[in-house]
């Protein structure tokens, strides 16, 4: 698609989204996220050729929350590899992201790395691998290695602390898994690691840049950064498609048709393999905790571009 068309398209979508009457609801269980301006809206589209298209609030940092689960899984796969699958499965959960019922009945083995229980196991794995003193630093360094300009890519310490003080459900999930022998480090350390990962702030521009390795089969944006293996990339994309939107993953696949990962900060990272890395941000959420207008914007974008992975490639006659 010509570059001017993408630029115009996202302008039009952003304009329509600005006046949308239904904007979803802000999450109240993480206090600072309830105070974000619900009218914020941004889109960043990074094409495979390196062109970046931005609109709206695409240069404003926001809390990436569960989008961080993509980087954590990538790191765990690149450092530990296949043994992680004895502690977390690769299946859709069909349950809310913070559900404890399924975890209990399945004896502390989470369905996938993108629900909270699975992400806590991944945080535990990173803690064991890098050590308590270095795991947080290593995680932030990895995320920074994926973006060109790292300014603003940081832990929001205040948000991480407030989630630590109020995240009783996550504490319950971690304790339940420790009871089943699937958490090895001390619970406070695991929770601190996990809440910090969730509390990273990034702009849509930086998020789209960070998805470059997923778009390009493992090649990253900056020259200094290591590349990620093609196998890890495919695994992460497959799980984003199947589990990236929790119990809304099926309808996201039907509407948008791209591997995507949402966060309760209102961001979504969606990947068109070989073609584009897309980040959208609108803080209001739908009933499954995924950005309402972010999903609507991606639906429009994919409809106009034919970028769904389920759309057959156009062949010249």
Ligand X SMILES: NC(=O)CC[C@H](N)C(=O)O
Annotated binding site for substrate: 66, 116, 163, 170, 194, 246, 264
Q: Does the protein bind ligand X through residue 72 (CB under 6 A)?
A: no
Q: Does the protein bind ligand X through residue 99 (CB under 6 A)?
A: no
Q: Does the protein bind ligand X through residue 73 (CB under 6 A)?
A: no
CB of 294 to ligand X, least distance (A): 12
Q: Taking CB positions, which residue lies at the least distance from ligand X? A: 66
d(CA 91, CA 109): 11
Q: Tell me the sheet residues that pair with 25.
A: 285
Select the residue interacting with ligand X from 97, 139, 142, 213 (CB under 6 A).
97
Cα separation of the two ends of the chain: 18
Q: Using CB under 6 A as the criterion, what x/- string covers residues 286-305 for binding ligand X?
A: ---x----------------
Q: Which of 147, 92, 97 is nearest to 120 (CA)?
A: 97
By CB under 6 A, the residues from 228 to 287 that bind ligand X are: 263-264
CB of 198 to ligand X, least distance (A): 4
Q: Does the protein bind ligand X through residue 98 (CB under 6 A)?
A: yes
Side-chain half-sphere of 40: how many Cα atoms within 13 Å? 26
CB of 26 to ligand X, least distance (A): 13
By CB under 6 A, the residues from 193 to 232 that bind ligand X are: 198
CB 245 within 8 A of CB 255: no
C-beta atoms surrounding 306 within 10 Å: 13
The binding site comprises 66, 116, 163, 170, 194, 246, 264
Residues involved in catalysis: 66, 69, 194, 246, 264
CB of 285 to ligand X, least distance (A): 9
d(CA 248, CA 159): 26
Longest alpha-carbon distance in the chain: 62
Phi, psi of 170 (to 5 degrees): -65, -35
d(CA 130, CA 188): 16
CB 281 within 8 A of CB 41: yes
Kindly tell me which of 244 and 273 has the beta carbon lying closer to ligand X.
244
Binding site for ligand X (CB under 6 A): 65-66, 97-98, 116, 163, 170, 198, 263-264, 289
């Amino acid at each position: 698609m010509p570059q001017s068309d993408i630029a115009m398209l996202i302008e039009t979508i952003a304009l329509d989204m600005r006046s949308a009457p239904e904007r979803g609801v802000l999450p109240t269980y993480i206090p600072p996220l309830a105070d974000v301006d619900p009218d914020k809206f941004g889109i960043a589209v990074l094409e495979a050729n390196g062109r970046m298209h931005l609109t709206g609030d695409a240069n404003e940092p926001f809390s990436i929350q569960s989008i961080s689960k993509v980087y954590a899984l990538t790191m765990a796969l690149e450092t530990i590899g296949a043994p992680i699958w004895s502690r977390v499965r690769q299946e859709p959960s069909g349950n809310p992201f913070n559900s404890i019922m399924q975890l209990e009945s399945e004896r502390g083995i989470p369905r996938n790395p993108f629900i909270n229980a699975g992400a806590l196991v991944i945080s535990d794995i990173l803690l064991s691998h890098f050590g308590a003193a270095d795991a947080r630093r290593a995680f932030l360094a990895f995320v920074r290695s994926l973006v060109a300009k790292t300014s603003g890519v940081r832990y929001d310490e205040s948000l991480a602390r407030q989630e630590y003080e109020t995240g009783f459900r996550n504490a319950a999930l971690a304790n339940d898994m420790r009871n089943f022998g699937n958490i090895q480090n001390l619970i406070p350390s695991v929770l601190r690691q996990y809440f910090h990962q969730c509390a990273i702030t990034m702009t849509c521009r930086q998020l789209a840049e960070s998805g470059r390795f997923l778009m390009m089969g493992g090649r990253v944006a900056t020259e200094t950064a290591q590349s990620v293996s093609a196998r890890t990339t495919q695994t992460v994309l497959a799980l984003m498609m199947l589990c990236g939107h929790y119990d809304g993953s099926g309808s996201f696949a039907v509407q948008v048709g791209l591997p995507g990962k949402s966060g309760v900060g209102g961001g979504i990272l969606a990947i068109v393999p070989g073609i584009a890395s897309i980040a959208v941000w609108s803080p209001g959420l739908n009933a499954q905790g995924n950005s309402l207008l972010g999903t609507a914007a991606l639906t429009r974008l994919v409809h106009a571009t034919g970028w769904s992975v389920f759309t057959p490639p156009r062949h010249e006659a």
